[in-house]
Structure formats: C-alpha cells, structure tokens
C-alpha cells in the first residue's frame, strides 16, 4: 500500500503528454492552452478616453470657470489626429483616441457647449479619464500562459490579439469498462442479486469535463479472458482505459490480472486511501490503464484524484490536481490507522467569513446518496483526529 502522494508522483513520472494541435478559437473552449498568448500590440493601442466629453490641455483649465474653443471631434474608429493647441478642446467619445497635446478629459455633464465653444466649471485634473497607451498590456507580453484551460471568461483576450487559431493540447480519449456479473443497464429493473450500472455514466460524465471522446464499453462479466480482451480492444481506440469493479481480493476480482495478461505493467495496486484503496494503475507504452473500485464513491473519488490527473498531465496542464483549500470543521472527524480518509462534506460560510466544512453522514464507499450531496472532500490524514473547529484540507468537487 502506498501513500496518496506517492501514487500521484508515480502518475507524474509515467504519464507523457499527447502532443498539440491547432484549432479555431471557437473550438478552443475547455481545452488546455499549448502556447502562451502574447499581446500583438499595446493595449490600449492609443491614449483612450474613458468618457464622453471634451479632451483638453489640463493647464488651460487651471483658472476655471473657463471657456475653450472646440476645434474637432474624436470618435471611436474616427480619431482627430492633430495637435491640440492652447485654448482648444475637442469633443471626444468613450473609447476614442485622445489627441496629442491633450492630457485630460472632462465628462460632458460638467461642461456646457454653445456655438463652437465649451465652458468648464472646474479645473480638469491632469490625466483624468484617460487610459494611457500600453497601460493594460505591452506589446510582446504574455497575457495567458500555456497550460491553462481556455474559459469563456478569458476568450476575449486571445481574440483581441488576433488568435483566430489557437494551439492546444491534444485530448486523450477514454474508454470506461464496467465489470461484474451483477451489473445491469440503468434502464433495466435489477433482478435478484443484480445492481444497476451507475458507475459508467458517473465516470463518463467526469471524463467529459476534460476529454474529447469518452466511450463506454459493454459491461464485462467476471471472466479473465473476456476482461483481458475488452481492455485490449479498448486500448486500440483510446489512450486511457478505465475499468470499475473487480479490484478487491475476492475470488472474482480479476482486473489486475487481466491488465497484466495483456502486457500492461502494474505501477501501483493499493493506495492508503479511503475510499479507494484497491485502485490499480498500469501502463503499456503510451496507453494507461486504471482499475477503479466498483463501489460508486470509491470509483468517483479515485477518478477525480488519479484519472483526471492523468488526463490533465497528458495535456500538460499547469495544475492537474483537484482544487484545494482549507475549511473549518463543524463536527469532529476521526481518521484511520493506515489510510487517509476523504470524507464527503457540504460547504458553508460563517458570519466572520470562514469557509466551513459540514461532514455528511457517510456509511462508506458504497454510499452514493451521501456523496451526491457533497461539495467537497475533507482530508483526514491517517492517525489523525480532528475536533470541531479544527482546520482541515479540503478538495472541492
């Protein structure tokens, strides 16, 4: 049995990036950036007005009230490109270039225009309502670093710098193979001793967040040869094969043997983790195999910890780990002697602004109903007991 941290390190050592491809910017959302996004111009590209009003030489307004002569107009896309001289002002619109000579903008509400003159009630402060050229970003600077996931919130930035195509990491394909003689489809009424296959849809959905293609294979009974064949064929069409079930030490737990039988090297097969102890990770060249436990919570948690990390590492993501933080426990939690426990919890906040973890009643690895209500996992390291009010590490779901 190896510690979780060791298992994560073994993944880091074994997983190799898949390579990169260029996609249209519209198809880049959700992908991992494989190039730095670099500013191809200063932003703003010129001194830009933040207001509708008048651009002036601030010193001309020092003895306000004062009246200046309107000599032109600068609108967005149609600037006024002469030098502003003493005693002059121009009408300017939000987003328009501020002409040379002008060093401040006054908003229209504080002025009065008549004929081609404009009056200012108060002096206009130097620099007011102007965003200087290059103040937001300079030509050549990195605006978004490679390794980050492209989000709708950031997409305007590469667009503004002319990236009609973006280099992103190739996405791995994943095949999920449910195993076990007891498994039936979700649409079926389970007969005696049968259970519905809830893991396939769960793992496929978790994969879908990070990969291009997810296949769900037909469920395989507890048969070594069948299982080996299913894993082998899955590896032909996918980069990662994920099985669930059959990893315990029962008579019918055959996953590990099946992986070995098709020439995959077992990298680890037991992690000091609850839920998820019997997780198997194996490798054959650039194909990776995960034997996740059958219990639904174990399957989901080990997917998030290990498979998701592998998917992210194959795309050279900067941060392949689950998002982590700290929370104050609102009830005690007792760890175990030999394994770190990841307890499902809800999150709340206290009146003084602290993040609170509310552990859910939890029977164990099979308790998918409790897990369905969880927003985070509280990590209780082995040999640790937390009291109410203690601060613990949490992983956000």
Q: Which residues bind ligand AMP (CB under 6 A)?
A: 178, 180, 182-183, 195, 197-200, 244-248, 250, 253, 293-296
Binding mask 194-223 for Mg ion (x = CB under 5 A): ------------------------------
Q: Where is 228: in which H helix or E strand?
A: helix 224-237
What whole-number distance in Å separates Cα of residue 143 and Cα of residue 162?
13
Is residue 278 a contact residue for Mg ion (CB under 5 A)? no
Do the Cβ atoms of 36 and 147 come closer than 8 Å?
no
- Name which of 200 and 370 has its Cβ closer to ligand AMP: 200
What whole-number distance in Å separates Cα of residue 300 and Cα of residue 202?
7
> What separation in angstroms does the CA of 306 have from each of 4, 234, 313?
9, 19, 10
Is residue 291 a contact residue for Mg ion (CB under 5 A)? no
- Write down the least CB distance from residue 220 to ligand AMP, Å: 11
- Write down the least CB distance from residue 255 to Mg ion, Å: 9
- Write down the least CB distance from residue 43 to ligand AMP, Å: 51
As beta bridge partners, residue 97 has: 48
Torsion-angle region of 43 (φ positive above 0: left; ψ -120 to 50: alpha; else: beta): beta
Rounded (5°) CA angle 388-394-397: 125
* Among 228, 245, 291, 293, contact with Mg ion (rule: CB under 5 A): 245
Within a 13 Å sphere around the CA of 207, how many CA atoms are in the beta-carbon half? 27
Using the Cα atoms of residue 343, residue 346, residue 347 and residue 348 in order, give the sign of their dihedral. Answer: negative
293 binds, among ligand AMP, Mg ion, none (CB under 5 to 8 A by kind): ligand AMP
- Name which of 351 and 363 has its Cβ closer to ligand AMP: 363
Do the Cβ atoms of 173 and 211 come closer than 8 Å?
yes
- Write down the least CB distance from residue 209 to Mg ion, Å: 26
- Name which of 41 and 198 has its Cβ closer to ligand AMP: 198
What whole-number distance in Å separates Cα of residue 310 and Cα of residue 9?
11
- Name which of 44 and 276 has its Cβ closer to ligand AMP: 276
224 binds, among ligand AMP, Mg ion, none (CB under 5 to 8 A by kind): none
What whole-number distance in Å separates Cα of residue 374 and Cα of residue 296?
14
- Name which of 183 and 242 has its Cβ closer to ligand AMP: 183
> Using the 8-state DSSP alphabet, how is residue 323 labeled?
P
DSSP-assigned letters across all residues of 92-139: E-TTPBPPTT--EEEEGGGEEEETTEEEESSPPPTTTTEE-TTSSB-T
- Write down the least CB distance from residue 246 to Mg ion, Å: 5
Question: With contacts defined by CB under 5 A, how many residues of the chain interact with Mg ion?
Answer: 3
- Name which of 260 and 368 has its Cβ closer to ligand AMP: 368
49 binds, among ligand AMP, Mg ion, none (CB under 5 to 8 A by kind): none
Q: Which stretch binds Mg ion (CB under 5 A): 28-36, 53-61, 174-182, 272-280?
A: 174-182
* Among 44, 172, 180, 296, contact with Mg ion (rule: CB under 5 A): 180
* Among 228, 246, 278, 335, contact with Mg ion (rule: CB under 5 A): 246
Tokens of 8: 């994560």
244 binds, among ligand AMP, Mg ion, none (CB under 5 to 8 A by kind): ligand AMP
Tell me which residues touch Mg ion (CB under 5 A): 180, 245-246
């Amino acid at each position: 049995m190896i510690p979780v941290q060791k298992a994560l390190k073994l993944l880091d050592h074994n997983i190799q990036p898949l390579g990169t491809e260029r996609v249209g910017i519209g198809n880049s959302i959700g992908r991992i950036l494989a190039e730095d996004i670099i500013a191809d111009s200063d932003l703003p590209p010129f001194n830009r007005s933040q207001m509708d009003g008048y651009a002036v030489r601030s010193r001309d307004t020092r003895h306000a009230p004062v009246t200046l002569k309107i000599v032109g107009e600068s609108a967005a896309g149609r600037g006024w490109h002469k030098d502003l001289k003493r005693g002059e002002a121009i009408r300017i619109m939000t987003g328009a270039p501020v002409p040379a000579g002008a060093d401040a903008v006054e908003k229209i509400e504080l002025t009065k225009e008549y004929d081609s003159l404009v009056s200012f009630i108060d002096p206009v402060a130097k620099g007011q309502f102007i965003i200087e050229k290059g103040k937001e970003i300079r030509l050549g600077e990195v605006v978004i670093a490679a390794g980050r996931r492209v989000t709708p919130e950031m997409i305007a930035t590469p667009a503004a710098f002319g990236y009609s195509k973006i280099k992103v990491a190739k996405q791995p394909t994943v095949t999920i193979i449910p195993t076990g003689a007891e498994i039936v489809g979700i649409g079926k009424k389970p007969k005696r001793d049968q259970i519905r296959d809830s893991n396939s849809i769960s793992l496929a959905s978790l994969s879908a967040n990070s990969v291009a293609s997810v296949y769900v294979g037909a469920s395989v009974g507890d048969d070594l040869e069948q299982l080996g064949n299913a894993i082998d064929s899955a590896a032909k069409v996918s980069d990662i094969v994920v099985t669930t079930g059959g990893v315990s030490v029962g008579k019918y737990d055959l996953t590990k043997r099946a992986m070995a039988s098709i020439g995959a090297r077992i990298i680890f097969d037991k992690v000091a983790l609850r839920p998820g102890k019997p997780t198997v990770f194996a490798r054959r060249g650039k194909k990776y195999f995960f034997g996740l436990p059958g219990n639904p919570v174990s399957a989901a948690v080990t997917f998030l910890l290990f498979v998701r990390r592998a998917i992210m590492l194959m795309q050279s993501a900067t941060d392949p780990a689950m998002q982590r933080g700290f929370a104050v426990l609102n009830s005690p939690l007792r760890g175990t002697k030999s394994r770190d426990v990841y307890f499902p919890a809800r999150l709340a906040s206290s009146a003084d602004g602290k993040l609170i973890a509310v552990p859910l009643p939890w029977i164990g690895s099979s308790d998918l109903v409790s897990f369905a209500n969880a927003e985070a996992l509280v990590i209780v390291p082995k040999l640790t007991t937390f009291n109410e009010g203690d601060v613990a590490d949490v992983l956000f779901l």
